[in-house]
Amino acid sequence: DAGVTQTPRHEVAEKGQTIILKCEPVSGHNDLFWYRQTKIQGLELLSYFRSKSLMEDGGAFKDRFKAEMLNSSFSTLKIQPTEPKDSAVYLCASSLEGGGGYEQYFGPGTRLTVL
């Protein structure tokens, strides 16, 4: 069974650009998460979908970050416009279901550098 896939693995953007990160969850998983990971803040939740419905959009990240789940097997995270402080690793994770103690499976991440 394929794990979570993310593309691209690395992205370099100029300040003010729009970038789109992609994620394919594990087949059959109902929950999908987008996280930002930095050394200072650790894992920060950006968005959470259950069965394609947005359950949480990570409050502080609303204005420039938009995650979508067009179908059960594909999600995107758009950052518009990018700022240097957005430089981080963006992780996508999926789980069978949020409740019931199911683990999250993480993708390899996209390392974003904003110049």
Partner 1 sequence: GDSVTQTEGLVTLTEGLPVMLNCTYQTIYSNPFLFWYVQHLNESPRLLLKSFTDNKRTEHQGFHATLHKSSSSFHLQKSSAQLSDSALYYCALNAYKVIFGKGTHLHVLP
Examine residue 57 and tell whether it contacts partner 1 (CB under 8 A). Answer: no
Residue 107 as a binder of partner 1 (CB under 8 A): the answer is yes
Q: 82, 94, 104, 110: which one contacts partner 1 (CB under 8 A)? A: 104
67: burial class by Cβ within 10 Å (0-12, 13-18, 19+)?
Answer: buried
Choice from 53, 63, 85, 103 touching partner 1 (CB under 8 A): 103
Q: Does residue 59 bind partner 1 (CB under 8 A)?
A: no
According to the binding rule CB under 8 A, does residue 43 interact with partner 1? Answer: yes
65 binds partner 1 (CB under 8 A): no
Smallest distance, partner 1 to C-beta of residue 35, A: 8
Sign of CA dihedral 75, 18, 34, 52: negative
Among the candidate windows 7-15, 43-51, 67-75, 80-88, which touches partner 1 by CB under 8 A? 43-51
Query: Contact residues for partner 1 (CB under 8 A)?
Result: 33, 41-43, 45, 48, 55-56, 91, 95, 98-101, 103-109
